[in-house]
């Protein structure tokens, strides 16, 4: 079969800051999926994109080509509108767990296709697999049936959605091109658009524990993704949210499930509740439902009812005890005062080293491993009191986890919770 273009010509165009045509983009993504374009050629093109960027039209075409590499899901047969959420990842980010059943309790179906953790950021599927019996792999038919019956599903994305992205994602990871905003945006949005949701809310994290460390980079990514969704006809908004401090008081799979259930029961940490409600209100509004406040569905137990049905529908036992670590280690405060800083990245690395995360996609994770926080910035502590508790089944991991936490917090003589940064920094639509 003769090819329409030559990969080297396309690489040169982008290397020399040129603009790729719609046909060139469609060909190179398809040819890479067919393995006509070699990994080293796509790696070179990805680096050129990282260094020289893409126009809005190029990114939109690139996203469309990724979508065209696989199947598209269709939820038009459902009796209720659909909305989804995507987070760019952070430490203690368990928001999907209470959010999906909460939005479903408001009359909006939530097809939440989620992923696994890598490095210091956690993965939603890893968290839920701490629930005995719960399974992540569902067929498209099972997803559709559960959305109609329960209203929410959290599961793994099938291999049929944007297979070009799967190949390119793995390549970017080993070629220093993960940070290319056009490729990040098209990777996320190709899967979300192919998923077929009617409305999409993006939670774009910014801060030490986030992928985007600066507000300007996070804003650029959010604006790019909102534009892609809009161009594809999906009602899309983004919230820039703070990830300088971990969300909630736990980082680790089973620990975060426990905290999520506390939120659904009407309690839980204030920051987790605040962000869950902010995202829920955006999702419900995006789906066109205007006569319900998610706070009511959280307070009256409807969200908890959907959670229990959602877990049961996927083989899990919502009443089973969550796993607990065989070993714990307490780190204490070294002075009296107010906790003024608690670094999210350091906590994420500590949880990872305890066994909650993985260095490679095929690595196993410990369901009970993680970090429990006994104080958050703005709270008063006393010297010698527990500041964090480390959880793991393998105590030889404690030393490196403690090492990760060196310099992770500051204790000052003054400061109050009133001075903390708002969770939601900005809204982009």
Active-site positions?
86, 165, 172, 187, 191
The whole-angstrom separation of Cα 12 and Cα 301 is 58
Closest CA to 136 of 167, 119, 121, 114: 114
Beta bridge partner(s), residue 155: 113
**Number of C-beta neighbours around residue 290 at 10 A:** 7
Determine the Cα–Cα distance for residues 409 and 396; give it in Å rounded to an integer: 23
Provide the sign of the torsion angle of the four alpha carbons 263, 267, 271, 274, taken in this order: positive
* Sheet strands (E) in 167-278: 199-206, 235-242, 250-251
- Residue 72 per-residue DSSP state: -
What is the total residue count of the chain? 429
Question: To the nearest 10°, the Cα dihedral for 312, 316, 319, 322?
Answer: -150
Find residue 114's DSSP bridge partners. 156
> Which positions ≥6 away from 219 have C-beta within 8 Å?
204, 240, 426, 428
């Amino acid at each position: 079969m003769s090819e329409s273009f030559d990969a080297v010509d396309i690489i040169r165009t982008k290397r020399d800051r040129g603009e790729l045509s719609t046909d060139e983009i469609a060909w190179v993504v398809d040819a890479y999926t067919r393995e006509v374009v070699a990994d080293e050629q796509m790696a070179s093109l990805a680096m050129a994109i990282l260094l020289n960027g893409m126009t809005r039209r190029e990114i939109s075409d690139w996203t469309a080509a990724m979508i065209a590499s696989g199947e598209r899901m269709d939820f038009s047969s459902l009796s209720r509108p659909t909305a989804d959420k995507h987070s760019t990842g952070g430490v203690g980010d368990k928001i999907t767990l209470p959010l999906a059943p909460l939005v479903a309790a408001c009359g909006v179906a939530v097809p939440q296709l989620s992923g696994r953790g890598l490095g210091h950021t956690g993965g939603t599927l890893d968290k839920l697999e701490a629930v005995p019996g719960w399974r992540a792999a569902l067929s498209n038919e099972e997803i559709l049936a559960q959305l109609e019956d329960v209203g929410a599903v959290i599961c793994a994305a099938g291999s049929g959605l944007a297979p070009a992205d799967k190949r390119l994602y793995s390549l970017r990871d080993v070629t220093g091109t993960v940070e290319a905003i056009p490729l990040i945006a098209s990777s996320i949005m190709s899967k979300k658009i192919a998923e077929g949701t009617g409305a999409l809310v993006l939670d774009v994290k910014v801060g030490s524990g986030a992928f985007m460390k600066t507000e300007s980079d996070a804003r650029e990514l959010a604006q790019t993704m909102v534009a892609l969704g809009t161009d594809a006809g999906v009602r899309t908004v983004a919230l820039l949210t703070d990830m300088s401090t971990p969300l909630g008081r736990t980082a680790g799979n089973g620990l975060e499930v426990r905290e999520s259930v506390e939120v659904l029961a009407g309690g839980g940490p204030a920051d987790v509740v605040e962000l869950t409600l902010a995202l829920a209100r955006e999702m419900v509004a995006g789906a066109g439902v205007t006569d319900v406040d998610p706070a009511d569905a959280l307070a009256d137990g409807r969200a908890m009812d959907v959670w229990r049905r959602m877990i049961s529908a996927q083989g899990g036992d919502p009443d089973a005890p969550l796993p607990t670590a065989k070993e714990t280690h307490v780190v204490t405060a070294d002075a009296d005062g107010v906790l003024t800083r608690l670094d999210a990245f350091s906590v994420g690395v500590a949880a990872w080293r305890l066994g909650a995360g993985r260095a490679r996609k095929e690595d196993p994770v410990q369901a009970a491993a993680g970090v429990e926080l006994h104080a958050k910035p703005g709270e008063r502590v006393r010297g010698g009191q527990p500041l964090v508790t480390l959880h793991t089944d393998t105590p030889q991991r404690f030393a490196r986890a403690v090492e990760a936490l060196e310099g992770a917090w500051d204790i000052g003589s003054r400061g109050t919770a009133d001075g903390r940064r708002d969770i939601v920094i900005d809204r982009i639509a």
